[in-house]
Amino acid sequence: MSEIRVGLVGYGTAGAYFHAPLIHAAPGLSLAAVVTRNPDRRAEVAARYGAAAVDDVQELWGRCDLVVVASPNRTHVSTAASALKEGLPVVVDKPLARTADEGRELIRLAEERGLMLTVFQNRRWDGDFRTVRRLVEEGALGRVLRFESRFERWRPVPKGGWRESGGPDDVPGLLYDLGSHLIDQALQLLGPVRAVYCESDVRREGVAADDDTFIALTHANGARSHLWVSSVAARFGPRFRVLGSASGFVKHGMDVQEERLRAGMTPDTPGFGDDVEERWGVLGTEDQPADERRVVRTEPGAYLDFYRQVAAALRDGGAPPVDPQSVVEALTVIEAARRSASEGVVVNLG
C-alpha cells in the first residue's frame, strides 16, 4: 500500500481543526474525500487539501482505504459499523459510543472482519500528560496517591448546538465530551477503576446537557483520581496536580496543540507541540524552599504520532495507536458516573 487514501466523515470542529490537518501531515496518508454539504467547507476542502467533497458516506466507499468518523456523536456507531461492513478500517473520534455494549459490538464486528478499529483519544499525546506519565514511570513522585485533572472553561453564555442542548441520543454534555479524555488519561496513568462517584449539573439557562461535572475514581491500586469538567469556571485550577508519597507535581495551562491547530499552524511545523516556558510545571514538596523545587520542561505534544501509528498499523499489521478495548473500559466508567450522578450513590465496578 503505497499511499493510504483517507475518507473523512464530517468537517466541523473535529474534522476541520484536528483530523484533516493531521491526516494531511502524516507520512503515507492522503486526504482523498470529505463528507460535508456545507458550500464553504466544500470549497476549503478542495483548496486546502485537494480532496473531493461528497454528500454522503456511501460515496466514500470506492474512494478510500481508511474511514475517519468525525461526525456528530450520535452517528459514530452507525457510521463506523457501515464502514467496517464495507471492508474498511476505521478511526472514530471520541466518544466511540454511548455505551460500553455498543463499543463492544463495534470491536466484535472489526475482529470478525479482520479490520483495524481505533479511537482518536488524542489527549494521550498532550505534552503535559506525557510529562506526568514520564514522571510517574520514573518514580519521581513515589507512589501516586491522588491525580487531579481539569478541563475548565468560562463560557457563561451557551454557544448552542447539540453538544449543549441535545437529547440522550445525541450523546451530548461535558461528561462525554471532555470527560472522555480525562477518564481515559486517568485509566492510562493509574489503571483499572473499582469505584465511581460523580456530581453532574446543568448550570446555564437554555442548556439541557451537563456543563459542570466532577468525577471521583478509586483505582484498584488504591490511588484516587479527581476530575473536573466545566463551562462555568470563573477562575481555573491547575491543569494537573499529582500528589505522590515522595513529591508532587503541579502544571497550569492547556496543551498548546489545539490552539495552534485552530490558528492554522500545520502539525509538522518544527516546535508545533512545544509548550511555552512560562507554563512548565513544578515538581517538589511544600517544605522545600521555592528555589529547590524543580521546574520540569513539558514534553512536546505529539498528536501527529496518532496518525503515524495508524499508517504503520495498516501497512505492517501492528497494533493501532489506541486499543478500542481500553476505550470500552472508559465508557464503563462514564456509564457508572452517569448512574452515580443520577442516583447520588457510589457505583462499585468490582
What value does the mean pLDDT of the chain take?
A: 97
> Using one digit for the tens of pLDDT, what is the confidence trace for 287-302?
998 888 999 999 999 9
C-alpha atoms less than 13 angstroms from C-alpha of 86 in its C-beta half-sphere: 21
Asked whether 250 and 281 are in contact (CB, 8 A), the reply is yes
**pLDDT for the residue numbered 1:** 56
Q: Which three cell numbers stand for residue 63?
A: 474512494
How far lies 113's CA from each of 76, 81, 97, 309, in Å?
A: 18, 11, 19, 21
Instruction: Write the DSSP symbol of residue 11.
Output: -
The pLDDT score that the predictor gives to residue 350 is 79
Helix pair 100-113, 324-343: axis angle to 10 deg? 170
- 344: burial class by Cβ within 10 Å (0-12, 13-18, 19+)? exposed
- Count CA within 13 A, CB hemisphere, residue 22: 30
Going across the sheet that includes 90-93, the strands are 52-54, 29-35, 4-9, 66-69, 90-93, 117-120
Percent pLDDT > 70 in the chain is 100
Low-confidence ranges of the chain (pLDDT < 50): none
312-to-28, 80, 116, 125, 307 alpha-carbon distances in Å: 9, 20, 11, 17, 9
Count of CA atoms in the C-beta half-sphere (13 A) of 102: 19
- Domains belonging to the chain, first-starting first, are 4-120 (3.40.50.720), 124-302+332-348 (3.30.360.10)
**Partner residues linked to 152 by β-bridges:** 230
Peptide bond into 95 cis (omega under 30): yes
Q: Which residues contact 220 (CB under 8 A, 6 or more apart)?
A: 191, 192, 193, 194
Looking at this protein, which amino acid is placed at residue 18?
F
* Separation CA 97–CA 75 (nearest Å): 9
What is the pTM for the complete model shown?
Answer: 0.96
